[in-house]
Amino acid sequence: MHVPVLLKETIEWLNPRSNENFVDCTLGEAGHAAEILKRTGPRGRLLGIDQDARQIAHSQAKLKEFGERAILAHDNFVNLQKIVEKKKFGNIKGVLVDLGISSWHIEESQKGFSFLKEEQLDMRLDENQKLTAREIVNAWPEERLAQALKDLGQERWSQRIARQIVRTRKVRAIETTAQLAQIVSRACPPNYERGRIHPATRTFLTLRVLVNDELLRLESLLPQALQVLQKEGRLVVISFNSAEDRLVKNFCRDQAKSGQLKILTPHPVVAEPSEREANPRSRSAKLRVAAKTHDHFNPSPVRAVR
């Protein structure tokens, strides 16, 4: 069963009320969306976006009770403004972006998101795209792999891991999650992170971000989110790695300096101990909130994270 991360905090900061409209840019299994719709009746609507057609189908069934108040779009959130225009969806009080992947993707998609399962190295959230995790680990040069692991995964043993990947693939192609997890484990010291996380955690995260071009897409989404919001509308972003969080923080700071928005969370909101214990996936979650200050939004340049 999918448990939405930081659900209580998300609802508190979005503060959905009767007849208000919201956008969920990362619909997933509709955990946040359902809670928002419960609080915005009888006429409040929610536009839910997801690039995975199967997630849209699952959410459609889950949100059936809300009828036409739930409007779903099978698309990528980089097209947010076009989607909003196409659906004629206005008076938007809040935009939610949850950058984690759902339990379904990890447990059932068979796309190789988890190092705890024996699956093919795929990691595509959208099956129409070409790049896969298998291609990255078998074709990218060692230095490029090492740099990505360092920058995106904050992996201190990036050089050793990249070297071990290249050595292994010279003998045979790396095809499965189990193979890759074993390679990474061999490359890392026995006391990696003192056992707090699996040695392959950051490598798998890096590959998912690369395959789905997640940072570039987030960079494109943020100014669009503020464009579609009404004045005083709120942007809520939940990130799960330091590169994503840094990009969101830089964006909010830059737009706040130019008077385009007001930062409502000077420090990121994190999960309470009880949630971290019940749902380990919430341990790395960071929630940031900003409010639009003007009717029109003229964004200052976004400081990219590479």
The CATH number given to whatever domain includes residue 143 is 1.10.150.170
Please report whether residue 67 resides in a domain: yes
Do 155 and 281 lie in one domain? The reply is: no
Do 220 and 175 lie in one domain? The reply is: no
What are the two backbone dihedrals, phi and then psi, of residue 255, each rounded to the nearest 5 degrees? Answer: -70, -30
- Residue 2: the pLDDT is 64
Do 86 and 220 lie in one domain? The reply is: yes
Q: Tokens 């790695």 appear where?
A: 241
- Residue 305: the pLDDT is 42
The domain containing residue 228 runs over which residues?
A: 7-104+214-292
Please report whether residue 297 resides in a domain: no
Please report whether residue 57 resides in a domain: yes
Do 241 and 281 lie in one domain? The reply is: yes
Please report whether residue 245 resides in a domain: yes
Residues in the chain predicted with pLDDT less than 50, given as ranges, are 302-306
- Residue 116: the pLDDT is 87
Residue ending a domain, choose from 143, 177, 211:
211
- Residue 299: the pLDDT is 64
Residue ending a domain, choose from 158, 181, 211:
211
Please report whether residue 15 resides in a domain: yes
Q: What is the pTM of this model?
A: 0.89
Do 238 and 283 lie in one domain? The reply is: yes
Do 79 and 29 lie in one domain? The reply is: yes
Do 222 and 261 lie in one domain? The reply is: yes
Do 11 and 99 lie in one domain? The reply is: yes
Residue ending a domain, choose from 150, 176, 211:
211
Taking CB atoms within 8 Å and a gap of at least 24, the contacts of 300-303 are 300/254, 300/255, 300/257, 300/258, 300/260, 301/254, 302/219, 302/222, 302/223, 302/247, 302/250, 302/251, 302/254, 303/247, 303/250, 303/251, 303/254
Do 222 and 74 lie in one domain? The reply is: yes
CATH number at residue 90: 3.40.50.150
Tally of domains within the chain:
2
- Residue 306: the pLDDT is 38
Please report whether residue 119 resides in a domain: no
- Residue 168: the pLDDT is 98
Do 220 and 96 lie in one domain? The reply is: yes
Please report whether residue 122 resides in a domain: no
* Structure tokens given for 9: 């905090």
Please report whether residue 124 resides in a domain: no
Among residues 281, 269, 285, 271, which one has the least CA distance to residue 104?
281
Do 154 and 100 lie in one domain? The reply is: no
State how far the Cα of 41 lies from the Cα of 38, in Å rounded to an integer: 6
Do 269 and 281 lie in one domain? The reply is: yes
